[in-house]
Amino acid sequence: MPVVGLPELLGAAGRGRYAVGYFESWDVYSLEAVVAAAEQERSPVIIGIGGLSANHAWLSSVGVELYGAVSAALARRSSVPTAVLFNEAEHFTEAAGALGAGYNCVMMHTQGWSWDRLIADTRALVAASHALDITVEGEVGALAEMTIDGRIDSSIGAMTEVAQAVDFVQATGVDCLAVAVGNVHFVTSDYVPEIRVDRIQEIGKAVDVPLVLHGGSGTPPDQMQAAIAAGITKINVGTRLKHVYGAALRGVIGSGGDPNQEYGSRSAEDVNTRAAAALTDEVRRLMQVFGSSGQA
């Protein structure tokens, strides 16, 4: 199956009233686990890696190129519609490094940027990307974050204003738009965010590009489904997947087996293969919540 662009994936999701998940990976095992989930659920999917959860020196020296190549190979072999995203680049230069490296969509993490920089750099990325038939996810507003000690830092959060969203889409030509509507990054505790579905509807009426919800890790199923009903067609999940993988890995590691089998063998004794199976189960569950199961 050829790699599919976000406009096609999200357009179909909008018509069918479901959302396609971007399930952020961090290595080859997790990338394969996400594709396996999509094939088992017969669901379209967005795979890739992200700049918020990886070392930027490593990303720029080799990581972006390495995982672009692996992700593109997996997407080409996937039996369901699959897009490849480099998510939340730290700046224009890092995002531009993903162009031609195997990704068919890119996004910058623009939190805290001035309006002028946001417009100029996003516009430049759109021009460079569209020339290569690669799409761009833009972002207006900023998500609050859960800190490592479990507090919510809302000082950095800024709800997306409707007028801002309209100006931004018009000025930059982005292909889809991530919004801050009460969603929170990095949540894995029992903290429950309050998604403003009214704001999603207002933004959706005012702009003509698909809308994206980051912070899927801490948003409960009923709120994700309400967001989809209001017009969200892409949901990002990252932190939660690492927690599921980590818990499964801790459960199987150190059992004193043969290291040749436990690491990298891809056999039933491979600890990462076993953790990846738990990850596949979690991604399948989320695809059912998003309504994308059976839509491939």
Q: How far is the CB of 214 from Zn ion (least distance, A)?
A: 3
56 is in an annotated binding site: no
List the end-to-end C-alpha distance of the chain, in Å, as a whole number.
11
Instruction: Give the range of 35-43, 121-129, 156-164, 236-244 binding Zn ion by CB under 5 A.
Output: 236-244
Q: How far is the CB of 23 from Zn ion (least distance, A)?
A: 12
CB nearer Zn ion, residue 218 or residue 271 = 218
Distances in Å between the alpha carbon of 135 and those of 87, 186, 189? 12, 25, 33
The strand pairing partners of 89, in sequence order, are 108
Binds Zn ion by CB under 5 A, chosen from 71, 86, 186, 214: 214
DSSP string across 36-67:
HHHHHHT--EEEEEEGGGS-HHHIIIIIHHHH
194 is in an annotated binding site: no
Residue 274 is a binding residue for Zn ion (CB under 5 A): no
CB nearer Zn ion, residue 39 or residue 90 = 90
How far is residue 223's CA from residue 233's CA, in Å, rounded to a whole number? 14
CB nearer Zn ion, residue 223 or residue 273 = 223
Q: How far is the CB of 212 from Zn ion (least distance, A)?
A: 9
Instruction: Give the range of 118-126, 188-196, 234-242, 280-288 binding Zn ion by CB under 5 A.
Output: 234-242
Smallest Cα–Cα separation from 200: which of 118, 128, 141?
A: 141
Question: Does an H or E element contain 213, and which?
Answer: strand 211-213
185 is in an annotated binding site: yes
DSSP string across 227-292:
HHHHTEEEEEE-HHHHHHHHHHHHHHTTS---HHHHTT--STT-HHHHHHHHHHHHHHHHHHHHT-
Q: How far is the CB of 152 from Zn ion (least distance, A)?
A: 15
Q: How far is the CB of 183 from Zn ion (least distance, A)?
A: 9
DSSP state of 191: -
Q: Which residues contribute to the annotated binding site for Zn(2+)?
A: 139, 185, 214
Q: Which residues contribute to the annotated binding site?
A: 139, 185, 214
Task: Give the binding site for Zn ion (CB under 5 A).
Answer: 214, 236
